[in-house]
């Protein structure tokens, strides 16, 4: 694999030291350590590293913003972002950035070395927890697409009126059907959309307007 010139950027001195130690022991050449986001671009331009490891949260400017700035100027840059949490917002911000890899700071050192090596070679890498999140989201969207195909026109009408706060009797009167038929449509919706009650149906409809 050869020597991998590396920049490590993190505002926490203890974590940064540990990160550098692990990577150095694994054969990475630590060319620069940065503790402030405002200095990273300068350091990058000076070193032209094979790998840049950036903390998601940095003083002055976030790691994601830095990744975007670096990639904008150096499209072939290889960037691994280290995140403090596995919140959905972290994954979403990463996916919108130009970074190659995303890993939790709590990851095992072996996973860190694996991630660093792959990102340095231009590959994409998602830590185990983020990979699971991506899989769950993919499966959720697949279920939603399937449910959308199964929901009938009348069921969509009932769901729309439920969101508007109408009762079964009010819906029945508006659609010229019986309250029992409305309840049947509601039961079908609960089953198809995997919800437990009307509140769940309403919440689902509000959160997935593009799919219902």
pLDDT at 135: 84
> Does the domain at residues 4-129 carry the CATH identifier 3.40.50.2300?
yes
Partnered with residue 101 across adjacent β-strands are 80, 125
CB count, 10 Å around CB of 27? 12
pLDDT at 25: 94
Domains 4-129 and 142-207 share a fold: no
pLDDT at 59: 81
CATH number, domain 142-207: 1.10.10.10
CB count, 10 Å around CB of 201? 20
pLDDT at 212: 59
pLDDT at 85: 87
Three-state DSSP state, 99: coil
pLDDT at 2: 63
pLDDT at 3: 87
pLDDT at 61: 84
Each of the 212 residues of the chain gets a pLDDT tens digit; together they read: 568 999 999 999 999 999 999 999 999 999 999 998 888 889 999 999 999 999 998 888 888 888 999 999 999 999 999 999 888 888 888 988 889 999 999 999 999 999 999 999 999 999 998 988 888 877 777 777 777 768 888 998 999 999 999 999 999 999 999 999 999 999 999 988 888 999 988 988 888 776 55
Quick one: which of 110, 56, 60 has its CA closest to 86?
Answer: 56
Provide the residue ranges of all domains of the chain, joining segments of one domain with +: 4-129, 142-207
Three-state DSSP state, 151: coil
pLDDT at 133: 87
């Amino acid at each position: 694999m050869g020597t991998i010139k590396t920049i490590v950027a993190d505002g926490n001195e203890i974590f940064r030291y540990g990160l550098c130690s692990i990577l150095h022991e694994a054969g990475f050449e630590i060319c620069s350590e940065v503790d402030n986001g405002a200095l990273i671009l300068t350091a990058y331009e000076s070193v032209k590293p094979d790998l840049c490891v950036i903390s998601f949260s940095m003083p002055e400017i976030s790691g994601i913003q830095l990744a975007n700035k670096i990639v904008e100027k150096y499209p072939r840059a290889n960037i691994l972002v280290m995140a403090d949490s596995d919140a959905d917002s972290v994954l979403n911000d990463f996916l919108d950035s130009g970074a190659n890899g995303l890993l939790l700071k709590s990851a095992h050192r072996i996973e860190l070395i694996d991630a660093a090596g792959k990102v340095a070679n231009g590959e994409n890498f998602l830590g185990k927890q983020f990979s699971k999140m991506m899989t769950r989201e993919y499966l959720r969207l697949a279920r939603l697409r399937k449910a959308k195909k199964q929901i009938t026109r009348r069921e969509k009408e009932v769901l729309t009126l439920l969101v508007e706060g109408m009762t079964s009797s009010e819906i029945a009167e508006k659609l010229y059907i019986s309250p029992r038929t409305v309840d049947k449509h509601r039961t079908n919706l609960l089953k198809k959309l995997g919800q437990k009650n009307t509140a769940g149906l309403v919440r689902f409809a509000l959160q997935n307007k593009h799919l219902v």
